[in-house]
Structure 1
Amino acid sequence: MLLEKESAGPLVSMCIPVYNHQKFVERSIRSVINQSYANIELIIIDDGSSDLSRSFIQDLLPLCEQRFVRFTYIAQENQGLSTTLNTALEWSQGKYFSALASDDCILPEKTEFLIQYLESQPDCVAAFGSIYLIDDESRRTSTRIGSGRYSFRDVIMLKAQVPAAAGMLRLDTLRSVGGFNTNTRVEDWDMWLKLTSATNGYLQALPELVAEYRQHAENTLKQLDLMYEHQMKILQDYCECPEYTSAITALECTRFRNIASVRKKEALGNFLKLSCTLGAYKEIRFYQGVIHLFLKW
């Protein structure tokens, strides 16, 4: 049974950017339709899919028109995720904003739960629940439970565990920092840095499970290499910050840990370099890398 559109509480803008997820996109959209919170506007943007994603979206258009306070569907040539999210920001009219990848899902209470938290915590610029990890067949394989309040220092030091699929952000704050960075592939981390550096606010991670994040077989070391490169580039924007040197070390330790068990020669070079860096000895990821490098084959 569909929810009534009239609802107390602030309007929430939700965006589903879609790209070649014909197997998953229907489930993703239905998870938004099934939210217990009624006052939602939905923006679905197909970013140049070459598979049958658009067909699955079109089948759900009448249901979306009926369910949501405002609804739009945009089909465009491929422009990339950040540009697509910025298009959604231009269309949005809500107090809060949430994006959902078209292969992920949210649980029915997610919106209502996070709205209640944000309404009671005006200094929190973004709130995040915890997630189930799911496989390509949508089977739950494990959980990632988070809990904590994260400042700019926590974010730049890679200590903030905040899954984007489980998040809710203040729309006016998002706009005030210029929206999403179109020059990076780690737009979420870049956004958390901008939000916490430009305001006195914080990110809040909560232990309640509110979303399902899909892990794909193609999540490989190549992607980790790409993430490292883009994170290093983003850090250059914060080179005047007192945390800059420590943040570089934290990122290098993360890379060392990620490659230590599979690219031994490269990891050994990283180990020798980090061994001469005092800050590395404060990083648990350094010790995790040492274990992978010398004890796992």
Structure 2
Amino acid sequence: MNAPLISVVVPAYGHQAFIGRCLASIAQQDHGPVELILLDDCSKDDTLAVAQRFLDQDGVRSRFQRVVCERNPQNLGAHDTINRGVSMAQGAYISLVNSDDVYYPGRLTSLLNVLTSCEARLAFSAVQCIDLMDQVAFDEEAAAIPTTIPHRARANLPTLGFSFLRYQPSISTGNLLFERSLFDQVGGFISLKYCHDWDFMLQALRWTEPAFVDQVLYGYRLHGGNSFRELSDRAAIESEIVLTRYFKGIRAHRTQNRFAPTPYNWPHVFEAATALFEVDGIWKKAIGGVVGKTRVYAGN
């Protein structure tokens, strides 16, 4: 049976120092048919030129079934750059990667295998924080990123999906592989600066339970340009937008994913979880109740 085409979408911006390593990690994947779509979002540095030089090396372009490497007509932001890239993709599966991050060997094969084996439509893996030199980061910033959430969720919550009511366990858009048809059902990534990935995951829960591969297959780079460093009041605003969208979508509708965290699928358990995660105020407001205080972590 022929392996399916995976389209790897790279939204690139301002990462001339890292884009070569990012692309090398994609080219070195052991999955067969891979399509590469790199969209530079009008970087002010040489990100696009460095990417093109890498792709012009002997044998690199031929590794991919199809290559798109171009600049956006105007700066779109990460969310719309991803949406544009997916719209150009020809694969049945979409894999994302931030232009400063790296895939670890076997990532695409491992995530695709878990999707097909458990009938999930979206998968992500364990994440390793890395420094400028691709070494494991052991600083306070790395410790602040909640990479252990999937393990705790599986031990203490009814499903992994419940953890998305409080956190963004997949950490980043770059850690996602999903069916193209799921992207179409969700409607893509919405116009949020920090929380578009969290919103996508919550909306995807209505259609599928995510699969988690308990293996470090993604290197998340920490450096001066990480967007999470700028999280403050904007993150709180976007968090409420994300949760309100999800809550309004589930309050009166059944979900295709029968394990999705909803009051219909999980009577009493859902309400207890929103109280435990201190998002019950947003839930009550979404269904016409009284808003309360919330403390919500936003991913990036």
| TM band (smaller chain) | 0.7 to 0.9
Structure 1 residues 24 and 73: CA distance shift in structure 2, 3 A: same
Question: TM-score normalized by structure 2?
Answer: 0.73
Kindly provide the CA deviation profile for residues 57-94 of structure 1, in whole angstroms up to 9, marking residues without a partner as x: 11023344211011111212211111111111111121
Instruction: Show the counterpart of 2:5.
Output: 11
Partner of 1:51: 45
- Secondary structure of the 2:105 match is coil
Overall identity of the aligned pairs, in %: 23
2:272 & 2:233 partners in 1: Cα distance?
Answer: 20
Specify which of 156, 160, 177 is matched with residue 150 of structure 1. Answer: 160
User: What residue in structure 2 maps to residue 134 of structure 1?
Assistant: 130
Give the whole-Å Cα distance in 2 for the aligned partners of 1:227 and 1:207.
Answer: 28
**Per-residue CA distance 1:89-123 (angstroms, 9 max, x = gap):** 1111212111100000001210011111111121x
- One-letter code aligned to 1:173: L
Aligned match for 1:228, one of 212, 218, 236? 236
From 139, 163, 174, give the equivalent of 2:183: 174
1:68–1:245 distance in 2 versus 1, CA, 3 Å: same
Partner Cα separation in structure 1 for residue 41 and residue 77 of structure 2: 7
Identify if the C-alpha distance between structure 1 residues 21 and 251 changes in structure 2 by more than 3 Å, giving closer, same or farther. farther
Q: Secondary structure at the match of 1:113?
A: helix
CA contact (8 A) 1:235 1:244 kept: no
Aligned to 2:14: 20
Between 1 and 2, higher relative CO (CA 8 Å, sep ≥ 6) is seen in 2
| 1:119-165 Cα shifts (integer Å, max 9, x gaps) | 1121x1211111211112322125845444523x432233x622333
The AA in structure 2 aligned to 1:231 is S
Name whichever structure is richer in strand by fraction: 1
Q: Report what 1:209 is aligned to.
A: 216
Q: Match for residue 255 of structure 2?
A: none
| Number of residue pairs matched by the alignment | 248
Stretches of structure 2 that go unaligned for 5 or more consecutive residues are 252-262, 264-269, 281-291
1:50/1:245 CA distance change after superposition, 3 Å: farther
Question: Is the Cα–Cα contact under 8 Å of residues 111 and 213 in structure 2 kept in the other structure?
Answer: no
Equivalence for 1:69: 65
Match of 2:33 in 1: 39
- For 1:84, the equivalent position in structure 2 comes to 81
Give the TM-score normalised by structure 1: 0.74
Following TM superposition, by how much is the alpha carbon of 1:166 offset from its aligned partner in structure 2, in angstroms?
3.0
Query: Whole-Å Cα distance in 1 between the matches of residues 46 and 195 of structure 2?
Result: 27
Question: Is 2:132–2:222's contact at 8 Å kept on the other side of the alignment?
Answer: yes
1:163 aligns with 2:193: no
Query: 2: distance between equivalents of 1:190 and 1:34?
Result: 31
My pick for the range that moved more, 76-85 or 183-192, is 183-192
- Pick closer, same or farther for the CA change 1:10–1:190 going to 2, 3 Å: same
SS of the residue corresponding to residue 140 of structure 1 reads coil
More helix by share: 1
Number of the residue aligned with 1:113: 110
- Within 5 Å, give how 1:232-251 maps onto structure 2: 232-240=240-248, 241=251, 242=263, 247=274, 250=277
Contact 1:8 1:39 in 2 (8 A): no
Moved more, 137-146 or 69-78: 137-146
RMSD: 3.0
Closer/same/farther in 2, CA of residues 212 and 16 from structure 1, 3 Å limit: same
Q: C-alpha distance in 2, partners of 1:139/1:183?
A: 30
**In 2: Cα distance, 1:213 partner to 1:10 partner:** 26
What is residue 4 of structure 1 aligned with on the other side? none
Which has the higher Rg, Structure 1 or Structure 2?
1
